[in-house]
Structure 1
Amino acid sequence: MILIVDDISANIIALKKILELHNLPVDTANSGEEALKKILKIEYSLIIMDVQMPGMDGFEVVETLSGSNRTRDIPVIFLSAINKQKKYISKGYETGGVDYITKPVDPDLFILKVKTFLKLSEQKTELKNIRDILSKEIEIRKQAQENLSNQMEELRSVLQSLPEIAFIISKEGPIEYVNDKWFQYSSDPASFPESHPDDHHLCTSWEDHFKEGKEFACEMRIRHLATNEFRHFKMKILPILHNDAITRWVGTFTDIQEQKLANEILEEKVAERTKELIVKNQELEFSNHELQQFSWVVSHDLKEPVRKIEMFIKLLKEKYLVEDEKATNYVDRALASAGRMSKLITDLLDYSRLSAKVPFEKTDLDEVVHEVLSDFDYLIEEKNAIIKIEKLPEISSIPSQLRQVFQNLVGNSLKFSKKDIPPEIEIQSEFIEEKEFGSKPSPTGKYCRITVKDNGIGFDENYLNKIFIIFQSLNDRQAYEGTGIGLAIAKKIIEKHNGLITAKSEIGIGSCFIIILPV
């Protein structure tokens, strides 16, 4: 916008008309004081200033403008009809005017000058803006450079304090900085330490990572200058990024010589122990085989005299002690003890057989359970037992061993039933997701959960772990026959099948045995 300053309204109207004909925006002021007030509020591109005015004349106004950084660069054209002498024209230029025009004014020449000075003013403003932008850019770059220098200095201080060999590589490739420990392995700060001949191929790997801008790490051996010894180091080189662009690389060599030696010693010891374990394992397998043979022989040899004892005691009872009630009682007790001994030998033989390797096969648990129930027909009928069986799955197992498990569980449910109350035995199964007793049911589960539940005498759950230990029994052996091996056999069989077994019970209510087996 152009400001016209003149104390004569007719002059303002004439100049304003000329400028508006050329679509130039115009503002006016009737005195120097009014002009200063407007200039403080509004940005003007050009001022057309009358020289002779009451109060402040044109020269005084321009001198005031030149004293302010904000207004000193506004171009001013002096316009005068009276002060045409050379001294006034010179004073106009000295006070800061860009031109001095005397009246009468040639409109065409006046417009050309106005447009010229407006153009110059615009260019000057643009140059000033550019200069300001450049100054800010220079300041920002200078600050960034200072920050970068400070960061590099901090980085070097950190690298210098490290116990490792440390170095910085520029983004183009040459080494920029190395710490003091570098010179223990290389006399040249621009060359990497000498690596072992077998590790030269790692340099090629680093070059590939350098081209791709990826982190690099490897183990290598480098030569110590003082001892001429190749030591094991772990080298790691990381890219430093700024605005997603790599500015440089930072690397370290970490001495792992002692660790390597320790690992080698450990590996040797592990190899030695492995050989020893193989030998011991072979000896153990041989001992197990001998023990198994021994158990078969001992069982057979123990059973034979027990059978003879039973036979001779029966003969004594039938031929010589029929009328002696007291002697018959002693003989019956002896026969019962001999029977328990025979059962104990049989159970011990079964327990020892579990360590033998037997191949797994597809097993229908329904068939296994029904075979077990058929063996207990006489006892089920005698006690009027009620048996409920849901559909059981097919799994991979050793059928004879699982038959033994169900035989023990069902046998216990029939044995430990309440007096004068028919036993009720319920066998159920479901597929589950995980090998856990509380796992959720799942039709596609890889495990099955089987429960054998009864309404018998039960037991105190505080002794839960005790019932699965060999020779442990929670009940009176005089009242309930047994050797205390059955549940120990069941537990060992289930564990051999990579399964789990536990129980829940309450005295006088009954027991529930829970088995988990992989399908």
Structure 2
Amino acid sequence: MILIVDDTPENLISLKKVLERHNFEVDTASSGEEALKKVLKNAYVLIILDVQMPGMDGFEVAEAISGYSKAKETAIIFLSAANTGLNFITKGYSSGGLDYITKPVDMNILLLKVKTFYRIYEQSRKLIEIQSALLEEIEFRKKAERKKDEFISIASHELKTPLTSVKGYVQLLERSVEKGDIPTVKRHLQKAQQQLDKLNELIADLLDISKIESGKLKFNKKNFDLNILLDSIIEIIHQSNPEFRITKTGTVPQEVFADEMRIEQVIVNFLTNAIKYAPGTTEVHIHVAVDGDRVIVSVKDFGIGIQPDQQKNVFDKFYRVEETAIHFQGLGIGLYISAEIIRRHGGTVGVNSIFGEGSEFYFNIPLISMTESD
């Protein structure tokens, strides 16, 4: 938009009409004071400013405008009938003007200058947009590189921990075998097996990440009873966490068409997280329900919870909640893999959480899903 500032009404009207005939949006002000008020409220590409005005003259207005951060980049063209000397023109440029036109105004020249300034404005705006996009891309790539480095560090530590434990148990086994202490041998074998199972889970997660990234995560969909699957999962989780009481409510009155193994993977992830991030508690709730043509499964714990500003990121790849990263182990990819599995079933995942009181992770999928049917 263009602002014309002139204390002579005839000049305002004639300039406004000419510019509007050439499809420019035009605003007017009849004094310097009025112009400053409008500059504070509106954004202008160009200001055509008369020099000789009562009160504030054009130079004073230009100097004031240059002090506004919002308008300091606005182009100013001075108009003057009396002061056409070099010293006045120089003053115009030093006041913040980019051009100086003498009266009577040659409309063809004025239009040429206005079009030129508009073209410069559009080019500058595009350059700013490109610069902003490039900066965002750079920030994203730096951020991505930092996340990758953090993940490599975490993964190295997480993989090394069970390997070190297994090595220790093997050494203990050698001593126990030599002594013929069979009960101790069995106990060390069981603990070594637990560490190997953990290592296998970590490797499986890493392989799933690779498959997701390459688009090779496959699904074997079939009809199955989700109620039976949930009961089986609860029994298995309870055996390894006997101190936790896992209660299930709700039921699914018909079979679900999905990849049973992958849905089990998601529910197990939700349950193990619920137990992991709820130290000092002994209760987890699972609820299942049907809403229209979709089935909803939720897992609620009463643990540490998640800050509101962090909840939107928990399903991102490699994301680990800052308050918990030091206290709890993990690669930060379980929820990301779960979200991808559900998404490729045509479903959605989410979380409701109150910091310090607990979290409820949930997902929904169609009862009959034809998405990603391999």
Instruction: Give the TM-score, by structure 1 length.
Output: 0.32
Larger radius of gyration: 1
Greater RCO, CA 8 A, separation 6+: 2
